[in-house]
Structure 1
Amino acid sequence: MLGAEQSTMSSSGAGASAMHVPAGHEGLGDWPGPGGGSCGGDEGDALFSWQDYSVLATVLLVSCAVGIFYGAGAGDAGQAAADFLLGGSSMPPLPMAISLAASFVTAVELLGNTSEMYLHGTQFWMSCVAFLIVVPLTSQLYLPVYRAVEVTSAYEYLEMRFGRGVRSLAAAMYVVQMTLYTSVAVYAPALALSAVTGLNVYLAVTCVYAVCIIYSSQGGMRAVIITDTFQAAVLMGSIFVVLALGNDRVGGLSVVWQRSSVTERLEFFNLNPDPTVRHSFWSVVVGGSFYWATMFCSNQASVQKYMSVATIKQARTALWVSCAALAIIFTANFYTGMVIYADYHGCDPIKTEAITASDQLLPYYVMQHMAHLKGVAGFFVAGIFSASLGTVAAALNSLAAVTVSDFMLGAFPAISIAPEKAGTAAKWASAIFGAISFALVFVVERLGGVLQVALSFNGMVGGVTLGMFSLGMFFPWANNKGALLGALTASALVAWIGVGAQVSGANQAGDATKFTSADLCPACNLTGDAALDFTTASSITTAASTMSPTAPEEPVFVLYRLSYLWYSAIGCVTTVVVGLVVSLVSGPRDPTTVDPALLSPPVRVLLDNLPKSLRNRLSLRDMSKRRFSTVRPPCVSSIYRGGIINAGISLDDEKPVVPPSATVTSSQAPPPASMGGGSLNGMPQQMQLDGLPQKKVSSNDNNGMYFAKL
C-alpha cells in the first residue's frame, strides 16, 4: 500500500524529525521492563546461520518447483494462451482470493507498516475501513461489467467503450507503472534487509527475480496463484512468529497497549479536515478508498484474477476473503510495530543510529532479539521474500496479458494468431519484462529521490485509470474525446503535483513523529566519546526545540503539500470531470448507441427507472426498448476459455459453451439507425465465427438486450 511505502522511503532521518513529548510523560525512560534493549541483542550481533539459509532456500526452491510443474503439465497446446493468462478460468476461489490479497501486500509495505506504527501511530490502520468500502463497490459496480464482456486485459473494455486510442494509452501507462514499480518494490526491502542481516543486496534481488521469472513464465496464472497461496502462508506465518515472540518478550498485551497509549500512538479518528495532513481519518479512509479502488476495480492484475474463476459468484466470494486476509495482515503488522515500540521505548535504535532508515526497524529487531533462535530469522526473511515474489509474479503475468492482448492482438486485429502461439508469446513477454525490471534495479539504486517518485507514481496512474473505467461504466454520454483528454489532463495534473512535492521537499502537515527516547540505552551502546557526543547532541536538540526558529521557512505551494493519499482521488475525479465536460462540448454520445453490457448494472437500472421527463432530457427515451448484442466487435479479441475468441456472457447463466456449430445472430430486433448498417460498432447482425469457439445469442427480456450465454 502506498502509505507504508511512502513512510518507508521518506523516514530515513526519522530521529531528527520534530517529536511531540506528551505532557506528564517526560519520565518514560524510568519505566521498568525490557525497554533499553540489550547490547548486541540476546546472543550478540548474530548474522544468518546455516539453518536460516536452509529455510530461505526451501521457500525459493518450492516456488520454482511449482512453476516447473505447471509449465511441464500445460496440457493441450491449443489451450496454452487461456491457461497461461487465466488459468483456464477454472481456478478454485480460495487460492485465487489468497493470491489476490498477496499481490496487494508488498515487502515495502510489510516493513513500512511496522515503522509507520512505531513512528506515527495507528491512524493508517484505518485503511481496513477503506477495504470494507471498496470491496462491495467492486463486486456490484465493476466486476459484473468485466465478466459480461469476458476480458483478458481490462483495457479491452476501454476499446469497446471508447476506441483503440484510449485502450492503448491506458495499457501503455500500466506497462510503465508496473515495470518501474516492481524494481523499486524489490530493491527497497532488499536494501533494508542487507543493512541488518548481512545478506548481499544484489544476491537477494537476483534470487527474487530469478525465481519469479522461472515460475511465472513457465507456469503462468496457475503457477502464480498456487505459489502465491504457499507464499502467503509463509508470509503470515513469519509475521505471527515474530509477533508472538516479541509480545512474550515485552510482557504481553497490557504492556504493549499501555506504552503505545501514553505516547499517543493509539489514534484512529484524527478528524482534521486539512487535506495537507499526511494521515487523518479523511485522507486514510476517503483518499485511501480511492487508492484501494484503483487496486481492486481497475488494476489489470486484479481483473485477470477475477477472470480466472468460473463464475461471478466465486469472484465475489474471493473478493471478501481477500478483504479479510488484508485486514488480518494489516492488524498483525501494526501490532508488531506496537510490540517493537514497547521493547525500544527507552532506547530508540534510530536515535542511537543503530539503524539509518526506518524500514530497517523490523529486520533489526528480529536480528537483535531472535537471531539466536535458529531458523527464525530465516523464516522472517523468507516471509519478506515471499511478499516480493508475489508482487513481481502478479506484475509479470499481467504485463504478459497486456502485451499479448492489447499490443499484439489489439494493434494488429487483422492478423490471426493461433492460441498456442499466443501462449508462447505470453511466456516470452513475462520473461522479458522480468529481465527489464531486474535491469532497472541497477538504475533506481543510483537515482535516490526517484524511489519516492516511483512509489507515488503507482497511485497517480491508478487514479487516472480508475477514472477512465468509471467514466465509461457510469456515464453513457461520455465519448472517446472526453475519455482521452480527461486522462491526459489528469495525468499532467497529478504528475505536476507529485513531482513538485518531491522537488520542493514539501513536508506534509502531521508528519512529525511520536515521542521516542534513548534514556535507557545500555552503556555498551553509547560509550566514551560516542556517549558524550550523543548526550551533547541531545541537549542541544532539546534546547533548540524550546526556541523560536530564527527565520520562517519559505512557504511551499499548497498543492505540493497535499497528502499523497489524495493523489488517486485527484486523478480519478479530474479524469471524470474533464471527460464529461469535453464530451458535452464536443457533442455527447447518444446513450442509445452504448451497448448496455458496457454500463454498470446499477447504472442501467437507475437510467431505466428515471422519471419520464428526465429521461427525455437525457435522451434516454428509447433506451429501455433497444436490444443489443453484447458480442464484442471483431476488432476486439480476447483470450478467454480456450483460445482467442469474440465473446459475451450472461451474468445470470454461466454454463458450458454451446456446440461450435452455432451461429451468432441478433435478428429479432432491428438495430438503432444511429448504429449504421444494422451493426454494433460496425459488427454485422449475423456473423459466423469460423474456426473459433462460438456462442448462441438469446434474448433477455428483463434487461431489454441480447446476451451471449455461456
Structure 2
Amino acid sequence: MRPHLLVLFLFLSASSAEQRRVKSDEEKCHDEHPTLLHYFSWADYTVLAIMLLVSCLIGTFYGFFSKKQETSQDFLLGGSSMGTFPTAMSLAASFITAIELLGNPAEMYEQGTQFWMTCLSFILVVPITSRLYLPVFMKLRLTSSYEYLHLRFNRNCRLLASGLYMLQMVLYTSVAVYAPALALSRVTGLNTYIAVTLVYVVCIFYASQGGMKAVIMTDTFQAAVLLGSLFLILGYGLSWAGGIALVWEENVKSERIEFLNMNPSPTVRHSFWSVVIGGTFYWATMFCSNQASVQKYLSVERISQVRIALWVSSFGMIIIYSINFLTGMVLYRAYKDCDPLTAGYISDQDQILPLYVMNFMGGLHGVPGFFVAGIFAASLGTVASALNSLAAITCEDILRGLFQMELSAKKGANYARWISIFFGVLSFALVFVVERLGSVLQVALSFNGMVGGVTLGLFSLGMFVPWANAKGAMVGAITSLIVVLWIGLGAQVAAVNGQIHLDSKPISIANCPCINETTIILNQTEHSSDNEVWSIYKTSYLWYSAIGCVLTMLVGLTVSFITGAQNPADVDQDFLSPPIAAMFRIQTKPQASANVQGIANLGLELEDEKPRQIDICKSPKCP
C-alpha cells in the first residue's frame, strides 16, 4: 500500500473509532440521564378511561333515558330549562381550551407574567356583554345568532357571518384537539392517533345524542375534572419547589414578574395595553358574538340567570389562568438551570408541562392520568360546544335561511343530530391535514381572533349604529376581513421564514447533562434578522380582534352614509342595544313588541318579559 494511502486509512480508522467512542459516551449519558423518568401506568390509563366513560354515560342518559328531545329547540337550546351554575361551568369549559392549558404555563415560563393581566379582560367583558349585547339576544330568542344580521341588515350579511364561523370552528377544533394530543404523546408516550380518536368518538357520541343538555352537563363534570387536575399539579409542584415564597423569589430574580409593561407600541407582543385592551376585544368576540356562547345563554329561562352565569364563568377563568401562571412559575423553579427546549429534550415549548408532570409526579400512580384527563376534558368541551353550534347554524342559516327548507320541529331535531355527527367526522378528518401542514397550527389559532373581530364588528354595527345599512355592513366586513387576514397571515409567513422571533426571558443550560455545546450555539443563533419585515406584520396578535371590529364599524358607517344611511326611525328598537335605543328614543314601529319600553329602559327588567317570537320569513327585512 502506498504511504499516503496508508496514512489516510489510519486517519479514517482513528476518526471512526473516535465517533464510536463519542456515540458510546452519549448513549451511556442518555442511559444515566433519560429524558423521561416515568411512563403512563395502568392506574393512569384507568383514571383517563373513567373520565371518558362518565362523559359517555351523561350523553347516554340525556339521549335515551331523560325527557325526549323531540324538537330542534329542545336539542339545540336544551328547552331553555338549564340551571345557572351548570351554564356558568359550561361557558368556562368552552372558553378554556387544551391549547391554553398547556400554553399558558409555558408562556409564563418563557415570557413572564404580563399575559396574566388578561384576567382584567374577563372582568371588563362581563358588564359589556350583560348590558349591551345580551338583552338583544334574550329578547329575540333566535336559535342562530346570525339570524339577527338577517333581520337587521339582509340575508347576505347573515350568510357571510355564518360561513366564516363554520370555517373558523371546523379548522379550530381540529387544531384544538391535535396540538395538545401531539404535545402529550411526545412526552407521556400516549399514541397521538388513539388520543385524537378517543376525544372525537366520545364527543360526537354525547353531543349528537344528548344535545345541549348533555353538552352543558358534561361540560360541568369536565370543568370539575379540569380544576381538580390543575390544583393537584400546582399543589404538588409548590410543595416540591419549597413553597410559594421561594418560587416567587426565583422568578423575581429572573425578571419574570411583570404586570405593567406600559409600552404603547402595538408591535409589543404582550404589553398592558395589548393584553387588557386587545384582550377585552378578543374575549368580547367569545362572549358577545360567538354562536356557541349565545346558544348557552338561551338555554336558561331568564336574563338574570345568564348575568350570574357570566360572572361565575369569568371568575372561574380567572382562577384557571392564575393556576396556570403559578404553575409556570413552578416550572421555572424546576428548570431554571436546564431549559428542556434548548437542551433538546423536548421539541416544542408546550411539552414542558407534560414533561414536568411525568418526571416529577410520574411515580405517583394515577396523577399523570388525572392531569391528562383534565387536558382531554378541555378538548371535549371545546369540540362539543362547536358541534352543537355548527348544527344550529346549519339548520337555521343554511337549510332554512339559504335553501328555504321547511323543517318541522321533530325533523329539525333529527337533522341537527346528523349534522353534528357530520361536522365531528369532518373535523376529525381535518386533523390529518393539519398534521401534514405544521404551519396551519398557528394560522388556525390566529384565524380565531381575526374572524371573531369581524363578526363582533357586524353585531356592534347593527346594535350601536342605527344609521348603518346592509351595504355598509357588507363592505365593512369584507374590507376588514381582507385587512386583518393580510396582517395575520403575513405575520405567520414572516415568522416561518425566521424574520420575526420572540425575545424570551433569561434561561440557562448550565446544569444540563448530555449537552452538545455546538448544537446549543446553533440553536441560539438560528434566528434571522427581522429588519426586513414590514412593521405592520409585527403587530401583536392580541390586536387582531380590535382591528377587525373597529375597521368593520368605521368602514360600515362611512359606506352607509355614502349609499344612503338608514333612517333610525325605521329600525326596530328590539334590534338595538338598550342604551342606544334609550338615547335616540326611536318611535316604535307597528310590528315592534308591546314590551319595547323595557328595552328603552336599559333592559333592566328583561328578566320579567316574555321573549319575542319572530317568524323570519315574514319579516319585512326578508328578501
* TM-score, structure 2 as length reference: 0.89
Say yes or no: does 1:330 pair with 2:321.
yes
Say yes or no: does 1:574 pair with 2:551.
yes
Aligned position for 1:33: none
Aligned position for 1:681: 620
Aligned position for 2:310: 319
Aligned position for 1:603: 580
State the 1:465 CA deviation.
0.1
Does the 8 A contact of 1:278 with 1:509 survive in 2?
Answer: no
- Label 1:537 to 1:426 Cα distance change in 2 as closer, same or farther (>3 A): closer
Amino acid at match of 1:142: Y
- Label 1:260 to 1:507 Cα distance change in 2 as closer, same or farther (>3 A): farther
Amino acid at match of 1:596: Q
Say yes or no: does 1:92 pair with 2:46.
no
Aligned position for 1:51: 43
Does the 8 A contact of 1:277 with 1:509 survive in 2?
Answer: no
Instruction: Select 2:181's aligned residue among 169, 187, 190.
Output: 190
Aligned position for 1:216: 207
Say yes or no: does 1:563 pair with 2:540.
yes
Amino acid at match of 1:681: P
Aligned partners of 1:94 and 1:428: how far apart in 2? 29
Q: In the TM superposition, what whole-angstrom CA distance separates every residue of 1:125-162 from its partner, at most 9, and x where no partner exists?
A: 00001111111100000000001111111101111100
Aligned partners of 1:195 and 1:565: how far apart in 2? 29
Aligned partners of 1:482 and 1:398: how far apart in 2? 27
State the 1:76 CA deviation.
4.8
Q: Percent identity?
A: 56
Structure 2 unaligned regions, length at least 5: 1-31, 595-602
Say yes or no: does 1:629 pair with 2:592.
yes
Aligned position for 1:444: 434
Aligned partners of 1:458 and 1:541: how far apart in 2? 31
SS in 2 for 1:514: coil
Say yes or no: does 1:124 pair with 2:78.
no
Amino acid at match of 1:449: S
Aligned position for 2:52: 60
State the 1:83 CA deviation.
1.4
- Label 1:627 to 1:375 Cα distance change in 2 as closer, same or farther (>3 A): same
Does the 8 A contact of 1:131 with 1:323 survive in 2?
Answer: yes
Aligned partners of 2:406 and 2:509: how far apart in 1? 68
Instruction: Select 1:429's aligned residue among 419, 426, 434.
Output: 419
Aligned partners of 1:336 and 1:472: how far apart in 2? 42
- Label 1:199 to 1:591 Cα distance change in 2 as closer, same or farther (>3 A): same
State the 1:193 CA deviation.
0.3
SS in 2 for 1:513: coil
Amino acid at match of 2:45: Y
State the 1:469 CA deviation.
0.1
Aligned partners of 2:474 and 2:436: how far apart in 1? 35
Q: In the TM superposition, what whole-angstrom CA distance separates every residue of 1:40-72 from its partner, at most 9, and x where no partner exists?
A: 48xx72111000000000000000111111011
State the 1:496 CA deviation.
0.9
Structure 1 unaligned regions, length at least 5: 1-37, 609-622, 632-648, 665-678, 684-710
Amino acid at match of 1:372: G
- Label 1:362 to 1:82 Cα distance change in 2 as closer, same or farther (>3 A): same
Does the 8 A contact of 1:74 with 1:80 survive in 2?
Answer: no
State the 1:520 CA deviation.
2.5
Amino acid at match of 2:620: N
Q: In the TM superposition, what whole-angstrom CA distance separates every residue of 1:618-651 from its partner, at most 9, and x where no partner exists?
A: xxxxx346554249xxxxxxxxxxxxxxxxx995
- Label 1:439 to 1:540 Cα distance change in 2 as closer, same or farther (>3 A): closer
Query: Would you tell me which structure has more helix in proportion to its own residues?
Result: 2
Aligned partners of 1:40 and 1:479: how far apart in 2? 64
Does the 8 A contact of 1:277 with 1:511 survive in 2?
Answer: no
Aligned position for 1:227: 218
Does the 8 A contact of 1:278 with 1:508 survive in 2?
Answer: no
Amino acid at match of 1:518: I
Does the 8 A contact of 2:500 with 2:530 survive in 1?
Answer: no
Aligned partners of 2:268 and 2:188: how far apart in 1? 35
Aligned position for 1:479: 469
Amino acid at match of 2:192: V
Instruction: Select 1:176's aligned residue among 167, 171, 191.
Output: 167
Aligned position for 2:331: 340
The RMSD of aligned alpha carbons is 2.5
State the 1:349 CA deviation.
1.2
Aligned partners of 2:342 and 2:522: how far apart in 1? 14
Aligned partners of 1:650 and 1:115: how far apart in 2? 42
Aligned partners of 2:605 and 2:394: how far apart in 1? 28
Amino acid at match of 1:558: S
- Label 1:501 to 1:655 Cα distance change in 2 as closer, same or farther (>3 A): closer
State the 1:508 CA deviation.
9.2
State the 1:80 CA deviation.
2.6
Instruction: Select 1:652's aligned residue among 592, 606, 609.
Output: 606
Does the 8 A contact of 1:148 with 1:650 survive in 2?
Answer: no
Aligned partners of 2:325 and 2:494: how far apart in 1? 31
Instruction: Select 2:562's aligned residue among 571, 585, 590.
Output: 585
State the 1:405 CA deviation.
1.1
State the 1:654 CA deviation.
3.7
Does the 8 A contact of 2:154 with 2:621 survive in 1?
Answer: no
